[in-house]
Amino acid sequence: MGKIAIEEHFNLPEFNGEHPQYVNAELMADINRRLLDLSTLRLSEMDAAGIDFSLLSLTAPGVQAVTDTPRAITLARQANDTLAEVVAANPTRYGGFATLPLQDPKEAAAEFERCVRRLGFHGAMVNGFTDNGDAGWYYDHERFLPFWERVAELDVPVYLHPRNPLPANTGIYDGHPVLMGAVWMFTVETATHALRLMTSGLFDRFPNLTIILGHLGETLPFTMWRISHRAEAMGELIKFEKPLSHYLHHNFYLTTSGNFHTQTLNATLAEMGVDRVLYSSDYPYESMREASGWFDHAAISDSDRTRMGHLNARRLFPNLPARIGKDA
């Protein structure tokens, strides 16, 4: 049985090359080319890497960076309709994560329901906070409660993906551009966003919410004991009902996207348990072949490899096609 990959990206021509990336120009040109390919090249890479099925999502920052709300709504629908056509043409190889215009939480909720109930998508990919002029909305804000209520009703996961922080929050990186992007900045931004969700009481209000984090959890499995322990001393500042570690263990799944290191994986498994970890590559920002070469030969049990490779995805996404792969 081949693998099911959860964090695999595509792009629309309207977005391609629009936002700066912290890699060299030659590599970024190749990434942009691969983001637009949804057929021959991508499928051949999947075959070579032993990946039967990929859940595709619009690359960051996507519509989250669009400040004009009507345009964000239009582009989100366009991205979802385009992806639905791609999935329909390759139903045994591709599935979809919805793109959501969270500039308007009620519109985002309606679009998510359309994507799940009519287009057959398996969840959503949200690329960090949503721009609001010079500021940004993080999803612990009460304005997003109608959205989260709909997510809870749909009972499908939301993947919280990194993006660059607000310009006002990048001063610590001044003079050290090598720390920007995926090197470090994405991790801090996304881990903090996840902690905001935990500390806001969101998971007490909607205990069945499921959030997915990539990159083996953006360091949270390795820091959660201290975070949870110290949070207990915050007294009247606490807005949540359970230890923060409870939310990580019960409301989050993690993927191996872009973090191909066995010791790190084993530490994640020790904290989360194998049933909360899913295989991913983070294509095309990472190589499918490198991701699979590591995962297929990592010093872990075959049982754990099988569970992370596809069984956990089958359980989390019960509406995946019964038969997948190029020979299905």
> Is the CB of residue 55 less than 8 Å from the CB of residue 96?
yes
Distances (CA, A) of 9 to 91, 133, 201, 281: 17, 26, 31, 10
Distances (CA, A) of 235 to 142, 197, 229, 230, 255: 22, 18, 12, 10, 33
DSSP string, 67-129: --HHHHHHHHHHHHHHHHHHHHHSTTTEEE-B---TTSHHHHHHHHHHHHHTS----EEE-SS
Closest CA to 56 of 85, 21, 19, 16: 85
Instruction: List beta partners, residue 77.
Output: none
Q: Distance between CA 265 and CA 276 in Å, rounded?
A: 12
Within a 10 A sphere around the Cβ of 262, how many other Cβ atoms?
13
β pairing state of 211-213 and 94-96: unpaired
- Which residue of the set 204, 282, 304, 327 is catalytic? 282
302 by Cβ neighbours in 10 Å (0-12 / 13-18 / 19+) ranks as exposed
- For 274, phi then psi, to 5°, come to -65, -25
DSSP state of 235: G
Active-site residue, 282 included:
yes
> Is the CB of residue 284 less than 8 Å from the CB of residue 9?
yes
Instruction: List beta partners, residue 126.
Output: 160
Q: Distance between CA 197 and CA 18 in Å, rounded?
A: 29
The set of catalytic residues is 282
